[in-house]
Chains A and B, each alone.
Chain A
């Protein structure tokens, strides 16, 4: 109990760090994921190949290895001098984008064929069909898996703490290294994650109710 009250500043900073990292990398993963999903359903073979390679590569690589790449390979080959936060953002965002892509792609394929055919037969262009007919309906099927993906992302952001980015796991590491009772720290840090994941699942449940499309 005292651990929390005596180190409220550290816990608060860690909590905010986790929230910010999750939000930022979630946004990056959404943008990349939708683009890659677009590549994967496009009629252009090299883009399809690129999308498939992207998903296969990032889905089958351990996240810890991606962090290792971001910390020790990217600075050598591409850009030196990136902040740890930016590196963590890249590792988490790229990793999660593969899962977002698969969710979006399967969402698009659940829209009944007749919907797109009807849209085309009344003379809508490809982008009109996508924007007005397909994506609104796909969004509804995509919401539940996206919620799981963001919850997993929140949990995965703990690895960033091990690579010295300020967030909740970093707080646990710091305090337990200082010799505080591990059980209490564990409990408080776990509670912090629970708050975030419950908020995410609650938000998505709200969204699902709002965006309900009768089929």
Chain B
């Protein structure tokens, strides 16, 4: 507990003071909530009709379809980014200079460019050459989003996996070579399994970032959850205006729930991993949010 660094165990005077702060703090937090509710009430956002739209079958179908498309993008991009991450990590650790430099350049470039720019450029490229792309041409926005997410998150995953490989004790690799294993065998049988195992919490936390970033599809008008919600809200008129506040609250809750579920999985795996005895320690679950792309 970090507060133990800063405070003594409170004496009688401090306890009284803390109780006063507690009351004042509670009042401030409650006041903030009350003010928000008051303003929402004044602007007619708490009217039963506004919230009644969620009883409409069409509205529910729209939200469900949005969740499904978001999860579809997330699933494809998540799997592809893990595959790309593994490949890039191996390439970065290669003994051939050209391969190593190519991988390093690729990772540095796409990690430094805002994801939105990559996605938009891909989308524009795909739209321009739509007729030459065959099947992909019909789902231009989907593939732009998936490939953009894959490239960016693949680069981050590669760095995470590389950190894991570097954490494997040197003696293990030497022992493996002494046993007569080949380079590829050392990588696939010894280094990667341990790296992935140790870095699993961090990799899942990066998947939370991937999930959040699917919402960039809104900007290239791909009908994921956010875009579906916006379209729906602007098509419905309740009491003379669009119920966008209510829709945003519901959609926001869905996003937060999805992300918290994934983050919870990461923490659970981390806690399990800490009990086990291996060569390298299991990384903390919240690492990538600080180490890299908060976006």
- Please determine whether B5 and A113 come into contact, CB atoms closer than 8 angstroms: yes
B40 at the interface (CB under 8 A from A): yes
- Please determine whether A76 and B290 come into contact, CB atoms closer than 8 angstroms: no
- Please determine whether B215 and A65 come into contact, CB atoms closer than 8 angstroms: yes
A residues 55-110 in Cβ contact with B at 8 Å: 56-57, 59-65, 68-69, 72-73, 76-78, 95-96, 99, 102-103, 105-106, 108-109
- Which of B89-97, B107-115, B166-174 forms contacts with chain A? B107-115
B291 at the interface (CB under 8 A from A): yes
Nearest-neighbour CB distance to chain A for B13, whole angstroms, equals 13
* Contact residues in A for B8 (Cβ distance below 8 Å): 120
A32 at the interface (CB under 8 A from B): no
Nearest-neighbour CB distance to chain A for B200, whole angstroms, equals 20
By Cβ-Cβ distance, the 3 closest A-B pairs, closest first, are A109-B2, A62-B215, A158-B114
A72 closest partner in B (C-beta): B244
* Contact residues in B for A172 (Cβ distance below 8 Å): 117, 120-121
21 chain-A/chain-B pairs, Cβ below 8 angstroms: A41-B3, A43-B18, A45-B22, A46-B28, A61-B256, A63-B212, A65-B252, A72-B245, A77-B40, A96-B294, A109-B2, A148-B291, A152-B292, A152-B295, A154-B114, A155-B295, A161-B116, A162-B219, A182-B125, A186-B117, A190-B109
Q: How far is the CA of A96 from the CA of B230 in the complex (A)?
A: 24
Given A77-B45, A113-B4, 10 more pairs with CB closer than 8 A: A60-B256, A61-B259, A65-B215, A68-B218, A72-B245, A116-B6, A148-B294, A155-B112, A158-B115, A193-B112
Chain B residues at the A interface, C-beta cutoff of 8 Å: 2-8, 10, 18, 21-22, 25-26, 28-29, 36, 39-40, 43, 45, 109, 112-117, 120-121, 124-125, 128, 208, 212-216, 218-219, 226, 230, 244-245, 248, 251-252, 255-256, 259-260, 263, 286, 289-295
Interface size on A, residues (CB 8 A): 70
Nearest-neighbour CB distance to chain A for B258, whole angstroms, equals 8
Q: How far is the CA of A21 from the CA of B293 in the complex (A)?
A: 18
A197 at the interface (CB under 8 A from B): yes
Where chain A touches its partner, the secondary structure class is: helix
- Please determine whether A169 and B120 come into contact, CB atoms closer than 8 angstroms: yes
B15 closest partner in A (C-beta): A43
Nearest-neighbour CB distance to chain A for B70, whole angstroms, equals 10
Interface string of A123-160 (1 = CB under 8 A from B): 00010011000100000000001001100111111110
A149-B6 contact, Cβ under 8 Å, with A60-B259, A61-B252: no
- Please determine whether B248 and A159 come into contact, CB atoms closer than 8 angstroms: no
* Contact residues in A for B22 (Cβ distance below 8 Å): 44-46
B113 closest partner in A (C-beta): A190
Q: How far is the CA of A155 from the CA of B118 in the complex (A)?
A: 11
Q: How far is the CA of A103 from the CA of B294 in the complex (A)?
A: 12
A193-B114 contact, Cβ under 8 Å, with A46-B29, A62-B215: yes
Q: How far is the CA of A105 from the CA of B125 in the complex (A)?
A: 43
* Contact residues in B for A145 (Cβ distance below 8 Å): 290-291
* Contact residues in A for B10 (Cβ distance below 8 Å): 43
Nearest-neighbour CB distance to chain B for A63, whole angstroms, equals 6
* Contact residues in B for A73 (Cβ distance below 8 Å): 244-245, 248
* Contact residues in A for B214 (Cβ distance below 8 Å): 62
* Contact residues in A for B292 (Cβ distance below 8 Å): 148, 152
A77-B43 contact, Cβ under 8 Å, with A60-B263, A193-B114: yes
- Please determine whether B212 and A49 come into contact, CB atoms closer than 8 angstroms: no
A47 at the interface (CB under 8 A from B): yes
